[in-house]
Structure 1
Amino acid sequence: MATMTELSSTEEKNKYSQDTQVDEKLILRKAPSLCSTRYGIAFLAHLCNFTIMAQNVIMNISMVTMVNSTGHQSQFNNSTEGPPVDSFGGPNNAPKSLPAGGSVFGGQFALWERWGPPHERSRLCSFALSGMIMGAFTAILLGGVISQALGWPFVFYIFGGIGCVCCLLWFVLVYDDPVSHPWINVTEKEYIISSLAQQVSSSKQSLPIKAVVRSLPFWSICFCSFSHLWLINIFIVYTPTYISSVFHVNIRDNGFLSALPFIVAWVIGVLGGHLADFLLTKNFRIVTVRKIATVLGILPPSAFLVALPYLTSSYITTMTLLTLACGLSSLCQTGVYINALDIAPRYSSFLTGAARGFAQIAAVLAPTVSGFLLSQDSEFGWRNVFLLMFAINLLGLLIYLIFGEGDVQDWAKERKLTRL
């Protein structure tokens, strides 16, 4: 009798599981994709990231003009051939401006804990983060043109106005979760809630600080993010200077050539998110997808930059390598940067913010150290800058490949409290 009951119970569970899977598939087919609330939130996050990075880059472009301006716009042509430099030869404003958006980077991941279905997180997060790349592209391309045509204050008026519009849209259209959103499609709400049912709980649990500090997967994210941000800072701060010093192009061509790699990076970053989600639907392990994306986003770009000083005679080859290096670097958006959502969904906003805050040290060190190397050795300065960057990138990547994980960590799982 007991055996028959157990068999009956097992059959009911199997039937319930099959029915649940069928219901989820039906919801998935009916749930809107591109014209949906979750993709609308990703677009707003894209705009916010666009504004943050554009303002940072604009600060780099306009600092010398602001300091030296005497009201004559013609001075712009003589003051923006490269980023402003401090006593070490590095951009004196980059360390002050780049870390400003670090808290926003971590804060937006709190949304994807409750808005991002597991098999859509790569594309949603990559599209949102690609706003930073588009911001860099737009600011580098148009910053000089706007300053020349209208004066440097209008650069801040325009991009500051875009930021104000983004804030208003965010306050009105973005909500904590699908349940509290007043205009979301019912089918989409059911799809998101059902896909996150096993990862997100309504119960509040304190952050296990000691477990986080002892977590090697978390520290691997921190060090790898640091190494990648060092690479990105070299691109943003020193690509215009490198092009000017090697090929002696004028400011208009310099702005276009400096911005070109970033539009390629934007395209590759968005497509990379879709490819990562596609691989996950084909039963690839999450950790495998994250590590492949991270390797492609760090190793080839670093190698390409190391080769640049040996190819100075070839203009086309140099620009091709710069464009490919910057483009491939955006693949880290679907790799290490969203890995916190995999290993600790309920704490991903804190972990991502902490990792980003740690990585922002590179925003301070990279321009200063690189500027010092350039000022000390005019002949081999660029080679030393790129070799140091390669060593840092390789070390951070190795740490991530060894200790990075894709499964939810034990300390990040829901803890059931029992009373005696």
Structure 2
Amino acid sequence: MSTKTVKQKFKAFPFWTSQRFLTAIVTFWGFAVLYLQRVNLSIGIVCMIKHEPDLSNVTGDWNVTSDWNRQVGEFTWDKELQGLLLGSFFWGYLVLQVPGGMLSERYGPKRVVFYTMLPAAVLGLLSPVSARLNPYLFLVVRVLIGVGESALYPAAQALFARWSPPSERSRLVGVSLSGGQFGNALMFPIGGLLCSSVGWDSVFYVMGALGFVWCIVWYLLVFDSPQLSKRISTLEREYIQHHVSFRDGQKTQATPWKAIFTSLPFWAILMGHTCGNYGLYMLLTQIPTYMKEVLKFDLKSNGAFSMLPYLTMWLFIGIAGTLSDLLIVKKILPYAWVRKLMSAIGLFGPGVCMIGLSYMDCTQQIAAVALLCGCVGLSGVAFAGYMVNHGDIAPQFAGTLFGITNMAATVPGILAPYIVGAITIHKTREEWQIAFFIAAAIYVAGGLFYVVFAQTTVQKWAEIPKTLTVGNGVPSEPTEADSMIGRKSPLQEDSL
């Protein structure tokens, strides 16, 4: 069937009512649940801990009458223990980054996600009990929740390798991943309201229950591939199969581990991803605490204002993706320049905002919130930079590369809360200033390394063999997507 005939056949094919879009929407809510359970402790710990009034950050005639200093918590955990607890999720989150992708390729992403996210939801429901029994038991529970949720990102990569035609991949994957920022934004006001009105334990019960419900929906509505879907129309199945070269059981060449780890463009992505995540995870886990200790927001205002940075990031992800596609398609900038530009904005921009934020106190609440929005929002621009660069340099290993860099980029989630907790023992602005300076330096270091060493051309070790085989060694039927194997994209001809 000629390309012209195919285009005519699928010209009026619906997108918004399709099974692939439904798959993206369900995955969107999966990432929202992941972040709801990841961030719930960040807001919950504000009302779990017994606080005493600390006016050291109050200047001038500022009158603190909010209920922040009257909050009576249940636990007397010190700052270092709080930092350990806030970072414990990320210890477990390291575990299935790379294995999660491999397991999804072998057994299917549907089962891998269901059998990892469901126990995480149950453990979320058990969090209040474990916290009251022993803080270190609570720490173990948080680690295990991280393990359970660590497979979702690589599994989603495997899922959309089967479901997304290249021309729709940005929309489908973008819709899915944006669920994380939506969950972040949702958690802060809802968590603050639950915490102050019902009790801190309700934050864990509600989010655990949502996770349980989502797992059921996922199992009923999502399928590993169009071939296995019971809900997809014949026309949509043919449409996806025509544009997607991946087939169930199809083999690729062995993963070139040595070549990957000796590749400077790969290390550029890893450094950008890891350094960007340090500041992002620091803010993710510490924004409520910073707003309470330095800016003196009451609990309800804390939750409401804490959501704004993540709504900003959600918006910036969409703008950056659209703008980068426009710059590439219209050939306004070379391909590599676009990736580097978006990464530079997403790394240098937050670094500058961090420095400004370090000078804020409780008399400058609005300016501080604006800078927080700048830090987090500008980080979203990098979603059109290093966050999608894996597929540029190694299309057939994009899932594996993302698993590796995301695993490395999870380490800051462990370190940042502990480092901040160790620095801000006395809860003063000066201590927070040191924490912000460290984050700013890391942002800039990652940006410099990426801008210097990043590339967008397919690396030699990632070139796809001209002959693809399925599981029994029989050559697979070529598709439109297969016709691009071994060639540069026209958009890459101008890349650096």
Specify the TM-score bucket, using the shorter chain as the normaliser.
0.7 to 0.9
Q: Is the 1:301–1:328 Cα contact (8 Å) retained in structure 2?
A: yes
For the pair 1:290 / 2:301, whether they are aligned, the reply is no
Note closer, same or farther for the CA distance 1:164–1:188 as it changes in structure 2 (3 Å cut). Answer: same
Q: Which residue of 1 aligns with 2:110?
A: none
Equivalent-residue separation in structure 2 for 1:150 and 1:338 (angstroms): 41
One-letter amino acid of the structure 2 residue matched with residue 245 of structure 1: E
TM-aligned CA deviation for residue 308 of structure 1 = 1.8
In structure 2, runs of 5+ residues without a counterpart are: 51-67, 94-145, 469-496
Equivalent-residue separation in structure 1 for 2:178 and 2:74 (angstroms): 26
Equivalent-residue separation in structure 2 for 1:317 and 1:253 (angstroms): 15
Q: Which residue of 2 aligns with 1:3?
A: none
TM-aligned CA deviation for residue 50 of structure 1 = 0.8
- TM normalised by structure 2 equals 0.71
Deviation readout 1:12-31 (Å, 9 max, x if unpaired): xxxx9xx52x3454356323
One-letter amino acid of the structure 2 residue matched with residue 177 of structure 1: S
| Aligned counterpart for 1:318 among listed residues 339, 353, 368 | 368
Q: Is the 2:336–2:456 Cα contact (8 Å) retained in structure 1?
A: yes
TM-aligned CA deviation for residue 307 of structure 1 = 0.9
Deviation readout 1:136-178 (Å, 9 max, x if unpaired): 2222111132133333333222211221222222223222333
For the pair 1:87 / 2:90, whether they are aligned, the reply is no
1:106-117 to 2 correspondences below 5 Å: 106-117=154-165
For the pair 1:302 / 2:351, whether they are aligned, the reply is yes
Q: Which residue of 2 aligns with 1:6?
A: none
- TM normalised by structure 1 equals 0.82
For the pair 1:229 / 2:277, whether they are aligned, the reply is yes
Note closer, same or farther for the CA distance 1:190–1:414 as it changes in structure 2 (3 Å cut). Answer: same
1:144-163 to 2 correspondences below 5 Å: 144-163=192-211
Equivalent-residue separation in structure 1 for 2:70 and 2:395 (angstroms): 48
Q: Which residue of 2 aligns with 1:46?
A: 28
Q: What do you get for the CA RMSD once the two structures are aligned?
A: 3.3
TM-aligned CA deviation for residue 194 of structure 1 = 3.5
One-letter amino acid of the structure 1 residue matched with residue 425 of structure 2: S
Q: Is the 1:304–1:322 Cα contact (8 Å) retained in structure 2?
A: yes
Note closer, same or farther for the CA distance 1:42–1:374 as it changes in structure 2 (3 Å cut). Answer: same
Q: Is the 1:84–1:93 Cα contact (8 Å) retained in structure 2?
A: no
TM-aligned CA deviation for residue 320 of structure 1 = 1.7
Note closer, same or farther for the CA distance 1:190–1:417 as it changes in structure 2 (3 Å cut). Answer: closer
Note closer, same or farther for the CA distance 1:201–1:236 as it changes in structure 2 (3 Å cut). Answer: same
TM-aligned CA deviation for residue 413 of structure 1 = 2.6
One-letter amino acid of the structure 1 residue matched with residue 435 of structure 2: V
Once the two structures are overlaid, the 10-residue window that deviates more, 353-362 or 287-296, is 287-296
Note closer, same or farther for the CA distance 1:401–1:61 as it changes in structure 2 (3 Å cut). Answer: same
TM-aligned CA deviation for residue 361 of structure 1 = 0.8
For the pair 1:358 / 2:412, whether they are aligned, the reply is no
Moved over 4 A (4+): 63-68, 198-201, 283-286
Once the two structures are overlaid, the 10-residue window that deviates more, 312-321 or 219-228, is 312-321
One-letter amino acid of the structure 2 residue matched with residue 220 of structure 1: A
1:138-287 to 2 correspondences below 5 Å: 138-197=186-245, 202-283=250-331, 285-287=334-336
One-letter amino acid of the structure 1 residue matched with residue 338 of structure 2: V
One-letter amino acid of the structure 1 residue matched with residue 35 of structure 2: M
Deviation readout 1:68-94 (Å, 9 max, x if unpaired): 8xxxxx99933399x975438x62312
| Aligned counterpart for 1:335 among listed residues 379, 385, 394 | 385
Larger % of helix: which?
A: 1
Q: Which residue of 2 aligns with 1:104?
A: 152
Q: Which residue of 1 aligns with 2:97?
A: none
Deviation readout 1:322-346 (Å, 9 max, x if unpaired): 2232222222223222322332232
Q: Is the 2:47–2:196 Cα contact (8 Å) retained in structure 1?
A: no
Q: Which residue of 1 aligns with 2:71?
A: 77
Equivalent-residue separation in structure 2 for 1:46 and 1:388 (angstroms): 33
In structure 1, runs of 5+ residues without a counterpart are: 1-15, 69-73
| Aligned counterpart for 1:399 among listed residues 425, 431, 449 | 449
Note closer, same or farther for the CA distance 1:151–1:377 as it changes in structure 2 (3 Å cut). Answer: closer
Q: Which residue of 2 aligns with 1:59?
A: 41
Q: Is the 1:280–1:286 Cα contact (8 Å) retained in structure 2?
A: yes
Once the two structures are overlaid, the 10-residue window that deviates more, 168-177 or 368-377, is 368-377
One-letter amino acid of the structure 2 residue matched with residue 393 of structure 1: Y
| Aligned counterpart for 1:370 among listed residues 402, 417, 420 | 420
How many aligned positions are there?
Answer: 393
